[in-house]
Structure 1
């Protein structure tokens, strides 16, 4: 039996296996160990493409349907709903299963192993304040894992997995805050770590607190998009009838990765043409219509995500939108990103405070803070986290690989390693 650790993420996915030499993430997308959690269906019914190939096919204008941020539907009513794919309708649950199945097959091809056991990563909370939603989300992931061929399935919290990765470099016993700011959720654990503790089979007593919040990188994308791109498409403008704004729901769907495809459902285009006729600025609504007609919602979301990532290193970035309208572009300033998403950073910091209280610790008891997940690279998010434990040593983990590596360590502990 070969076992793996699987980090099925909102934005990216990793899978790892362990040998006597230790855990290793498998190359799933060419030479890359990360594969974007994206799947692209063509109308002809051929097998879907995934990862970078899926995004490339979509951006290149291939006829079909791109779906991304699939993990976001777990714990929501959308998981069992069907969406239009080609000439038929497919449930989101089935779409996730196809992506996970392809990921598993690629790992088996790359390693030459038959992988039948998995430690699946999961956020502390799939849904805020909804234990029943959490239970259903985990049950859905377990059923999907069984469906695609895993015979032995277990789960580990993603921040605990990141802690196991970090613990490999810890020389003395310490208390660490693990902060994993992923694409869909932010998760935190406070854990006792150390060389002697690595050998323990049961680490339950070492976990002092776990907490999380449904705030992640896609939420930063949403707020940035609403504040910058959507006004260019008519968001916030008025209708001819005095005091009546253009309906905002279209824009919020367009700015939300998991909701973009709603705009391609039957009847939406007719509604948009009616809005254009009654809008004070029909030329702005025409841009929105063009995006929807061209199924360009994910392309716009990709542009916004790229701008957000660039703003981690640059003070401003130009976003070219000539594919919507000739000459259309916008300059996005880092200050705009911070202003629009400061509330998200504050919510992340507040949840860390809750985690400290649950552990019965003050901030000065934390020896180190281990950071993983793409949004930890945003300066104001980084500062918000460190502001909760100002005296702690800061350790930057593998942005996209720490959770997967930790899950792989956990899989070896639970199921054994592959013989070298």
Structure 2
């Protein structure tokens, strides 16, 4: 068997796949499960590091320490060259990413009983919107990190193209397919001609009619749902005695997965104390300060994320906010959620429309929309896509596994 694998390092969840005749492609990475949540927890009590679901369990159990999530969102930003305090020492963010990808590789090798020197790693169409230089730098940074984690040879593939390879393995005739990959950090799209015959070709460049993407994903849905529904309970939008608004930066940091820890810095805490003394809605600011004092930002983000997921099926959901004084429960409706993310849906819609124009393809020519990515179950998103390509049938792939499977197929083609 080839010592090459496909690695889907995701904002929220990660997978590793390897093409093995007669055996499942995706490898079990944690307690028999095929996904490893992209989470790291540094336990200050026993100086141990845990990953994935175990990291979340340790954090929610109340152990003192530091939780890191959505590390992929650092790629392409100035934060990637920064550092954070972990267990009393400064740790570069690059080192944190290397540690997580190294853990992915080690678990995959254990699960498959083989070593992996080569990898095809998935990447969004754009790490950073409208900045080609930053995008190239983000890919090179990820390549360097993967090499430091033990992969000798690394290639990249656009995540929606990888998902297309997975779908292609399931069809019996040629189709023009719009792949919609809505992940945790980005929404990526590809228009691809697929067929069993084309799948035998080594060079698929002529089959890819257009690719596009926007830096919007599930963590953004979480953020704007939190900002619109939860953060007002903590004083967002309220006024100070001089009639200016309470600075929104505290709320944006708490609502954004990869910046939550910024709310816990000593500088932010001292500034917040000054602001709270001058706040008209003092009770709300006291709730905010209590949440920060207890390092409850990740807990709150998890409640919002669970609510978002539930609203894909239910018309309303009740968030359990028992750690916030006087606010044990909050009811959020699907209409609330749709309103909160409406502006994001507009950007997604315009990205797809531009993709069709770039390809010179009429919407009526699209046979299938293939949805993948953990955030593609949002109902309003699917409705927007359906309006753009009304004649196309909608197919739901493995929301968390299609990309990893396709990357494994690509790894076998590239490395043998």
State whether TM-score is above 0.5: yes
2:192 aligned with 1:179, yes or no? no
Deviation at 1:47? 3.9
Match runs of 1:206-355 below 5 Å:
206-241=207-242, 243-325=243-325, 328-355=328-355
SS in 2 for 1:84: strand
Partner residue in 1 for 2:5: 4
- Once residues 218 and 385 of structure 1 are traced to their aligned partners in structure 2, the CA distance between those partners, rounded to angstroms, is 20
Partner residue in 2 for 1:55: 56
- Once residues 166 and 155 of structure 2 are traced to their aligned partners in structure 1, the CA distance between those partners, rounded to angstroms, is 18
- Once residues 5 and 247 of structure 1 are traced to their aligned partners in structure 2, the CA distance between those partners, rounded to angstroms, is 43
- Once residues 199 and 247 of structure 1 are traced to their aligned partners in structure 2, the CA distance between those partners, rounded to angstroms, is 57
Deviation at 1:343? 1.4
Which consecutive unaligned segments of at least 5 residues does structure 1 have? none
1:10–1:182 CA contact under 8 A, matched in 2: yes
- Once residues 99 and 291 of structure 2 are traced to their aligned partners in structure 1, the CA distance between those partners, rounded to angstroms, is 28
Partner residue in 2 for 1:107: 108
SS in 1 for 2:180: strand
Give the TM-score of the pair, scaled to structure 2: 0.98
Partner residue in 2 for 1:19: 20
Partner residue in 2 for 1:67: 68
- Once residues 266 and 289 of structure 2 are traced to their aligned partners in structure 1, the CA distance between those partners, rounded to angstroms, is 14
Q: Output one character per residue of 1:6-58: Cα deviation in whole Å (capped at 9) or x when no partner.
A: 00000100001111236610111111101110000122573410100111111
Match runs of 1:48-197 below 5 Å:
48-197=49-198
2:161–2:190 CA contact under 8 A, matched in 1: yes
- Once residues 359 and 171 of structure 2 are traced to their aligned partners in structure 1, the CA distance between those partners, rounded to angstroms, is 21
* Count of residue pairs brought into register by the alignment: 415
SS in 2 for 1:239: coil
User: In angstroms, what is the RMSD of aligned CA positions?
Assistant: 1.1
SS in 2 for 1:115: coil
Q: Output one character per residue of 1:165-211: Cα deviation in whole Å (capped at 9) or x when no partner.
A: 00011111121110101100000000110010010011111110011
2:30 aligned with 1:33, yes or no? no
- Once residues 24 and 354 of structure 2 are traced to their aligned partners in structure 1, the CA distance between those partners, rounded to angstroms, is 32
1:44–1:86 CA contact under 8 A, matched in 2: no
Give the TM-score of the pair, scaled to structure 1: 0.97
2:384 aligned with 1:387, yes or no? no
